[in-house]
Amino acid sequence: MNYTTLQRRSSLLCTALLFMFSHSFSQNSKFYIFLCLGQSNMEGNARIEPQDTTDVNRRFQVMEAVDCPNLNRVKGQWYTAVPPLCRCKTGLTPADYFGRTLVANLPKDAKVGVINVAVGGCKIELFDKNNYQVYADTAPVWMKGMIKEYDGNPYARLVEMAKLAQKDGVIKGILLHQGESNTGDTTWPQKVKQVYDNLLQDLNLDAASVPLLAGEVVNADQGGACAKMNTIIDELPQTIPTAHVISSAGCPQKGDNLHFTAEGYRMLGRRYAAEMLLMLGVKINK
């Protein structure tokens, strides 16, 4: 083997190693990413108020899951998490004040990112990776338009965005707010477990380090039309040991007995954050 050949091979090896190391170190272990899914209360049903769009810390980011020309946002890119955080014209969501509360309490070198894929009115079956099509085909016309924004498969879009996000940071948890459309379904916890297990498998995640945080629907103390579903939601940790239930007690609803007010979403989001911070071993200051 002559000198020129050795030099060429050495150069190629250096280039490969440089690429490998630059790729591996591009992930920021202090960029905490959270996947958010569910129906209308995760999508965000309350009108966004001025206080919700001001003073959003740049350390709190959202990865856009759909193209939003009206927001100058492109699918798969990170942006400062000024609402809306789901699709282009959705409202305030628990994810807003979940992220705000986290960055207010985490060290200054930590960032928080959320990916929100939710469809108003849907059953948990829409996120069943193997059987979603059966549900989507029978969905009402008004829901089909929302499903179409995710190319007909919200679960696949969530996984697609999550894989992109994993190049930048570390998935630390999954936030769920869903259940109204499954009210009374005692098999709901098992259906949620299937979705959770699929996400863990498809994203190569460990349940012990990626908990599931599930919020209650509008509580009975607020006249919640689906409040009896909370009994089933509260049993979720029996099926998923790494699940944590977020209480909706006292969170005001907007008058339709199904959706929270903006203040209700703020309260609920802070409760999701308080639970997550506890698991991260961080003392809550704000």
Q: Which residues are catalytic?
A: 40, 256, 259
DSSP 8-state assignment for residue 126:
G
Q: Give the type of residue at 252.
A: P
The angle subtended at Cα 51 by Cα 47 and Cα 52, nearest 5°, is: 55
* Integer Cα distance of 286 and 273 in angstroms: 11
In the chain the first and final C-alpha atoms are separated, in Å, by 66
Which runs of E-coded beta strand occur in the chain?
31-38, 60-63, 78-80, 111-118, 170-177, 212-215, 243-246
Tell me the three state secondary structure of residue 80: strand
Q: How far is CA 279 from CA 112, 212, 247, 272, in A?
A: 15, 11, 16, 11
Q: Are 238 and 189 in contact (CB under 8 A)?
A: yes
* Integer Cα distance of 100 and 156 in angstroms: 27
Q: Are 240 and 199 in contact (CB under 8 A)?
A: no
